[in-house]
Amino acid sequence: MSDILIVGGGIIGMLTARELSLAGMSVTIVDQSEAGHESSWAGGGIISPLYPWRYSAPVSALAKWGQAFYPELIAEINSETGLDAELLQNGLLILDDEQKAALAWAEKWQSSLQVIDSNKVYELEPELSQTIMADKKAIWMPDIRQVRNPRLVKATKKYLLKQGVKFLEQTKVTGFIKKANKVLGITSSVGDIAADKILVAGGAWSADLLKKMNIHVAVEPVKGQMILFKSEPGKIKRIILSQDRYVIPRKDGRVLVGSTLEHTGFDKTTTVSAREELMLEAFRMVPCLKEAEIEHHWAGLRPGSINGIPYICPVPEVDGLYLNTGHYRNGVVLGPASARLAADLILNRQPILELSMYGFNRA
């Protein structure tokens, strides 16, 4: 029997498993499909919230901690596995007129952010549309990194297996075993699994899992569709954000463009209308993509929560049951700090951040 079961094998569950394993706990991850192949696989991998000033302090605090920790985390995983998650610092260009809010946020959070003119914008990204700026100013965040998230989850899984973390994949949790106010394990498609502690990190599926214990948490699936172009390496240099759509250039020339926000339940089907809308947005920002082939079009389900603030907390009146879920669009950037904070909670350590901000009944 493991010391703790983590229900959900996405980036949140896996990074929390890393923290607990390093602290000496035996950990088993249970996933209904293949670990890391839902929202963690589908997203863009920008290590920053989009328009970070639109978020409240609880999100900014997690993001700031995680951004500082990422180089160390990636180096550790790469050293142990030899797998490169392609951590790349190529900065974020934001073309929307939100300079006042951005500068105020940057001063508060001591974040590197500049307001630049169109000449500087085109110096940073020559492939940007020549008409999109029209002598406007833009926001430049030079320290923003990206990671190739499918490679990150693959490398993290390999790392955890080397550390002795167990994976039970293709295993659906059907209920929780409970005596009085204490969880004792789970019921699943492969039988009962005992554990002293259980962490629910099931992303968009977390609320459905908790309903099995008549526990209601405000997390719902929010579909996001993306498309992938095959371009030339180095053709597009910067992450670009405009009108809630982004362009992310990878090292090998692939370019991600996303993403939609759709409240369609657990439906992950892609649509022609979304594909066409994302294509037009890509061409509006970076016209050279008209010459590039579209390789792939997919959708993922984000765990939407109130104001995008995750739940990192014990479940009230259920001893041994914890949550680390509801990261909405920001699982990759919030993952490291969320994992450390969840481990602090479970291990009764001094927390890195104020836990009440992420509580079950927070204001």
The per-residue DSSP string of 199-236 comes to EE--GGGHHHHHHTTT----EEEEEEEEEEEE--TTSS
- Whole-number Å distance between alpha carbons of 36 and 146: 17
Report yes or no: 28 and 5 within 8 Å, Cβ to Cβ. yes
Percent of the chain with pLDDT over 70: 99
What local confidence, expressed as pLDDT, does residue 134 receive? Answer: 80
Q: Answer whether residue 166 shows pLDDT above 70.
A: yes
Model pTM score: 0.96
pLDDT digits (tens, 9 = 90+) for 36-88: 889 889 999 999 999 999 999 999 999 999 999 999 999 999 999 999 999 99
Report the pLDDT value the prediction gives residue 209, as an integer from 0 to 100.
92
Q: What is the mean pLDDT of residues 179-186?
A: 93
* CB contact set of 328 (below 8 Å; sequence gap of 6+): 222, 302, 303, 304, 305, 308, 310
What is residue 360's predicted lDDT score, i.e. its pLDDT? 87
* Closest-CA residue to 345 (of 334, 335, 358): 358
Alpha helical stretches, state H, the chain: 11-22, 39-42, 57-81, 99-109, 118-124, 149-162, 206-211, 272-285, 331-346
Using alpha carbons only, how large is the chain's radius of gyration in Å?
Answer: 20
| CA 227/CA 224 separation, integer angstroms | 10
Where are the chain's structural domains? 4-82+149-217+307-358
Q: Band the pLDDT of 146: cuts 50, 70, 90.
A: very high
Q: What is the mean pLDDT of residues 1-25?
A: 96
Q: Per the structure block, which two tokens stand in for 241? A: 């954000």
Q: Are 159 and 17 in contact (CB under 8 A)?
A: no
Name the band, by pLDDT with cuts 50, 70 and 90, for residue 212: confident
Q: 166 has which bridge partners?
A: 28
The 10s digit of each residue's pLDDT in 245-266 is 999 999 999 999 999 999 999 9
CB contact burial 180-202 (16+ within 10 A = b; e otherwise): eeebbbbebeeeebebbbbbbbb
pLDDT tens, position by position, 111-129: 999 999 999 999 999 999 9
- At residue 213 the predicted structure's pLDDT band, cuts being 50, 70 and 90, is confident
pLDDT of residue 312: 98
Please state whether 134 falls in left (phi above 0), alpha (psi between -120 and 50) or beta.
Answer: left
Q: Cβ distance 138 to 3 under 8 Å?
A: no
What is the spatial distance between Cα 203 and Cα 310, in angstroms, rounded to a whole number?
Answer: 10
Burial of 270 (0-12, 13-18, 19+ CB in 10 A): middle
- On whether the 4-82+149-217+307-358 domain is CATH 3.40.50.920, my answer is no
All residues at 6 or more sequence positions from 195 whose CB lies less than 8 Å from its CB, including other chains: 1, 2, 3, 4, 5, 28, 183, 184, 185, 186
Is residue 62 within 8 A of residue 337, CB to CB? The reply is yes
> Tell me: the pLDDT tens digits for 310-339?
999 999 989 999 999 999 999 999 999 999
Question: In angstroms, how far apart are the furthest CA atoms of the chain?
Answer: 67
